[in-house]
């Protein structure tokens, strides 16, 4: 494999780094944002998910600039959107400005999930396509771990730490944008969309410098034959493309119905449900990132060896085991976990009151009163493992903190290994995702559509992914308030059983097959040859 192809792939895949960083960096700031502006659970969920709504928009319409202007200009535009979003989020003056700038960054993420995997797939040799296109996912994971680590390091710098958490993404965004200036346009876009054969042959010569002129002409002929001029203007929504359309929709649907984005976004809060305090929860979130990174390496090493379908099998079994055990742990230690997390809620509420301004002090005091009453009730629940608590009306903040800290220690001791089991299950879930869906989704979607419709197909898969990601992330905080977490994890487990059945009966293997050959297998041949 030529070093220049590796460089182009890495550069394009750096859009995934920014995607991963932006996706998770909010997890370290979301509690502070909620307390700073006294957000309701519904507004809080919307603010956190706002980038996902932008991502839905970007993924729905990202195919248009990718086809109209080309892959390279679109990737440069993505970098500019990331820069503006990061700076704006760091300087946000209220929740509405934060939402607006996160929407803008989300649009960049959505477009990147269309343009970047598609670009890498179109310049890659078939034998290396899985690993090269999979670098987009690797960079997503790398961005996630850097975001978790960044949050951990910045968490203690003061009340404006959350602004630095969100704004620091401007620096890698600038580096990525400059690097994109050095990559060529996709040869398949030049040949099949722009129909600039001379420019396409120049790029092809860079990819295959050892090939003779006749061999280069033959490759160009094959690519153009797969996208004949007669196919221009033909609809994407045709019976001929029904199988790739169904595959793209379902791989994205099941990716999100695993709960992956909700768990990544709210990792510290999920660990807090077991009584893990915020600083420790943020550190465990770094552990999630490391696990994701290590097993993404494993997935990329295996994807061109075992194939896409086998990795989806492995991931499905891992999902089912880890989510099922996690649900059981939350059911089995429910009273202890509830008492511990409620004690944490009192400590957070005291901190919010102590840092409140005159304008929001009353609301913060009301929330503290609600939390202390909740802890009193939780401490009396059978099996909670805590001494029954009563807060006198005259209790000082220091006294409340002492009582809550004692309750937290008692409930955590009563839960024994329960918290560790949840932690282990979440780490196993992340490993299963990294080897399976995480490694496969962007590679698979970028492979299964014909050259002429690849951007539209990538748009379908990406927008499906982000629609469900936005919906789940918006409702996840509401679900946590409305029902025991065990039911949520049990639902995700059930969806992964359905994914396993789908892989068994429908998913084809695409490993090592040229894109034009995949078109013949999945659709019956080029448009204009078979209607």
Judge whether residue 490 has pLDDT over 60: yes
- Within this chain, do residues 251 and 201 fall inside the same structural domain, yes or no? no
Q: Domain boundary at 210, 232, 257, which?
A: 210
Q: Which is more confidently placed, 282 or 521? A: 521
494 domain residue, yes or no: yes
Report the C-alpha gap between 448 and 442 in whole angstroms.
11
Report the C-alpha gap between 59 and 109 in whole angstroms.
8
- Within this chain, do residues 267 and 181 fall inside the same structural domain, yes or no? no
152 domain residue, yes or no: yes
219 domain residue, yes or no: no
- Within this chain, do residues 180 and 252 fall inside the same structural domain, yes or no? no
236 domain residue, yes or no: no
- Within this chain, do residues 13 and 140 fall inside the same structural domain, yes or no? yes
- Within this chain, do residues 128 and 81 fall inside the same structural domain, yes or no? yes
User: Mind listing the pLDDT tens digit for each residue in 205-239?
Assistant: 887 778 788 887 887 887 777 666 545 556 788 88
Domains in the chain: how many in total?
A: 2
- Within this chain, do residues 245 and 166 fall inside the same structural domain, yes or no? no
Q: Which is more confidently placed, 163 or 32? A: 163
Nearest of 292, 203, 310 to residue 20 by alpha carbon = 292
- Which structural domain range is residue 304 located in? 241-382+394-523
Return mean pLDDT, the chain.
84
Q: Retrieve residue 380's tokens.
A: 């009396």
Judge whether residue 34 has pLDDT over 80: no
23 domain residue, yes or no: yes
| pLDDT at residue 277, as a whole number | 60
- As to burial, measured by CB atoms within 10 angstroms (0-12 exposed, 13-18 middle, 19+ buried), residue 199 is middle
Contact of 188 with 71, CB cutoff 8 Å: no
- Within this chain, do residues 301 and 197 fall inside the same structural domain, yes or no? no
Q: Taking the model in full, what pTM does it have?
A: 0.77
Contact of 346 with 470, CB cutoff 8 Å: no
- Within this chain, do residues 476 and 411 fall inside the same structural domain, yes or no? yes
DSSP per-residue letters across 99-168: HHHHHHHHHHHHHHHHHHHHHHHHHS-GGGHHHHHHHHHHHHHHHHHHHHHHHHHHTTS-TTHHHHHHHT
- Within this chain, do residues 195 and 344 fall inside the same structural domain, yes or no? no
339 domain residue, yes or no: yes
What's the number of CA atoms in the CB half-sphere (13 Å) around residue 137? 31
Residues 403-406: contacts with CB under 8 Å, at least 24 apart: 403/346, 403/375, 404/343, 404/344, 404/346, 404/347, 404/350, 404/375, 405/343, 405/347
Report the C-alpha gap between 151 and 168 in whole angstroms.
10
233 domain residue, yes or no: no
- pLDDT mean over 264-276: 74
| pLDDT at residue 444, as a whole number | 93
Q: Retrieve residue 88's tokens.
A: 């704006």
Measured in degrees and rounded to the nearest 5, phi and psi for residue 324 equal -65, -45
Q: Which is more confidently placed, 25 or 304? A: 304
Q: Provide the CATH number for the domain around residue 158.
A: 1.20.1250.20
At residue 526 the predicted structure's pLDDT band, cuts being 50, 70 and 90, is low
| pLDDT at residue 308, as a whole number | 92
- Within this chain, do residues 61 and 183 fall inside the same structural domain, yes or no? yes
Q: Retrieve residue 384's tokens.
A: 């909670």
User: Mind listing the pLDDT tens digit for each residue in 504-516?
Assistant: 999 999 988 888 7
What SS3 class is residue 195? coil
Q: Domain boundary at 210, 230, 259, which?
A: 210
- Within this chain, do residues 262 and 201 fall inside the same structural domain, yes or no? no
229 domain residue, yes or no: no
- Within this chain, do residues 419 and 493 fall inside the same structural domain, yes or no? yes
| pLDDT at residue 263, as a whole number | 82
């Amino acid at each position: 494999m030529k070093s220049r192809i590796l460089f182009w792939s890495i550069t394009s895949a750096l859009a995934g780094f920014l995607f991963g960083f932006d996706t998770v960096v909010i997890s370290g700031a979301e509690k502070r944002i909620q307390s700073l502006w006294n957000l309701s659970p519904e507004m809080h969920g919307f603010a956190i998910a706002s980038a996902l709504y932008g991502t839905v928009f970007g993924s729905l319409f990202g195919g248009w600039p990718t086809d109209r202007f080309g892959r390279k200009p679109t990737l440069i535009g993505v970098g500019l959107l990331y820069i503006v979003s990061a700076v704006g989020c760091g300087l946000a003056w209220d929740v509405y400005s934060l939402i607006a700038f996160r929407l803008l960054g989300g649009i960049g993420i959505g477009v990147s999930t269309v343009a970047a995997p598609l670009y890498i797939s179109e310049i890659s040799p078939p034998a290396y396509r899985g690993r090269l296109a999979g670098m987009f996912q690797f960079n997503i994971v790398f961005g996630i771990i850097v975001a978790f680590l960044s949050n951990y390091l910045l968490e203690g710098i003061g009340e404006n730490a959350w602004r630095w958490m969100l704004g620091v993404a401007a620096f890698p965004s600038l580096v990525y944008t400059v690097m994109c200036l050095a990559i060529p346009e996709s040869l398949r876009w030049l040949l099949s969309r722009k129909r600039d054969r001379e420019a396409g042959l120049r790029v092809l010569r860079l990819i295959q410098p050892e090939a003779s002129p006749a061999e280069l002409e033959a490759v160009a002929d094959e690519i153009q034959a797969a996208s004949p001029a007669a196919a221009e203007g033909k609809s994407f929504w045709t019976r001929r493309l029904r199988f790739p359309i169904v595959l793209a929709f379902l791989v994205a649907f099941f990716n999100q119905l695993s709960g992956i984005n909700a768990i990544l976004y709210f990792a510290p809060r999920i660990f807090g449900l077991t009584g893990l305090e915020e600083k420790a929860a943020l550190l465990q979130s770094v552990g999630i990132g490391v696990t994701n990174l290590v097993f993404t390496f494993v997935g990329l090493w295996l994807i061109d060896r075992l194939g896409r379908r086998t990795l989806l099998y492995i991931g499905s079994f891992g999902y089912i085991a880890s989510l099922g055990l996690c649900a059981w742990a939350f059911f089995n230690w429910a009273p202890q976990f509830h008492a511990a997390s409620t004690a944490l809620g009192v400590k957070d509420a005291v901190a919010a009151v102590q840092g409140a301004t005159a304008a929001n002090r009353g609301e913060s005091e009301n929330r503290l009163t609600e939390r202390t009453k909740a802890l009193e009730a939780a401490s009396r629940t059978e099996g909670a493992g805590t001494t029954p608590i009563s807060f006198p009306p005259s209790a000082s903040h220091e006294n409340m903190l002492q009582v809550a800290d004692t309750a937290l220690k008692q409930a955590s001791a009563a839960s024994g290994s329960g918290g560790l089991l949840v932690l282990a299950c979440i780490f196993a879930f992340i490993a299963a995702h990294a080897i399976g869906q995480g490694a496969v989704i962007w590679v698979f979607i970028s492979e299964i559509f014909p050259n002429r419709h690849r951007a539209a197909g990538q748009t379908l898969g990406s927008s499906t992914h982000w629609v469900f990601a936005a919906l789940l992330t918006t409702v996840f905080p509401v679900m946590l308030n409305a029902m025991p977490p065990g039911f949520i994890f049990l639902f995700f487990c059930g969806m992964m059983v359905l994914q396993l059945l789908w892989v068994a009966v429908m998913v084809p293997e695409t490993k090592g097959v040229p894109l034009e050959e995949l078109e013949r297998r999945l659709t019956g041949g080029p448009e204009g040859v078979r209607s």
